[in-house]
Amino acid sequence: MNDTLVTLVGNAATGVEFRETASGGMARFRFAVTPRRWDRGKQLWTDGHTSFFTVWAWRALALNLSGSVSVGEPLVVHGRLKVREEEREGRRKTFVDIEAVAVGHDLTRGTAAFRRVAKGESALTISVGSPDGAGGPGGGDPWDRGSDGGGGGDGGGGGEGEERSVRRGNGRSTGSRKTDGELAPVP
């Protein structure tokens, strides 16, 4: 296989959209990467041009992303780079996707508490909108990478029937932290 594997450091630009499929869970979110450069003339750090990617994940990674990642959180994403070109309304558009192999919080910018998921744990998502979870009047299937519903490149959302993540408590995983030889709950 001649896949191009990349590792990106940036921030979640949108919430994680999750839905169940016949082969397991599927999730996607937009990811923003902004390089920082030292400006010698001004003697300070400046932001470069922000690049946006659509990150796709499947099965256990998709489910864990939906319960772990919120908008704006710093992340490290490792996966296969996929670049597609499509013609829409007479214009050529380029879409850059990452098929995630691994995703984690960037610990240079904060702390995280890991909690192992037990096999068979109930799903963290429910369908919002129509009973079958189909896209509503928002236009097209938001999960179709090439649809006008926002799939591959523009990060738009679906209609009333889009899947939304339901988090337990405050949206953070619960677990425990070892302090003075005993386990204390993680806030």
114-131: pLDDT as tens digits: 888 877 665 454 333 334
Three-state SS string over 33-49 comes to ECCEEEECCCCEEEECC
The contacts found for 110-113 with CB under 8 angstroms, 24 or more apart, are 110/74, 113/172, 113/173, 113/175, 113/177, 113/186
Residue 139, φ and ψ in degrees, nearest 5 = 100, 100
pTM: 0.63
Q: How confident is the model at residue 143 (pLDDT cuts 50, 70, 90)?
A: low
Mean pLDDT of the 92-98 span = 93
Residue 65: is its pLDDT beyond 70? Answer: yes
154-187: pLDDT as tens digits: 333 333 333 333 333 334 433 433 344 444 444 4
In three-state secondary structure terms, 121 is coil
**Average per-residue pLDDT in the chain?**
74
**Closest of 15, 118, 19 to residue 68, by C-alpha:** 15
Residue 88: is its pLDDT beyond 90? Answer: no
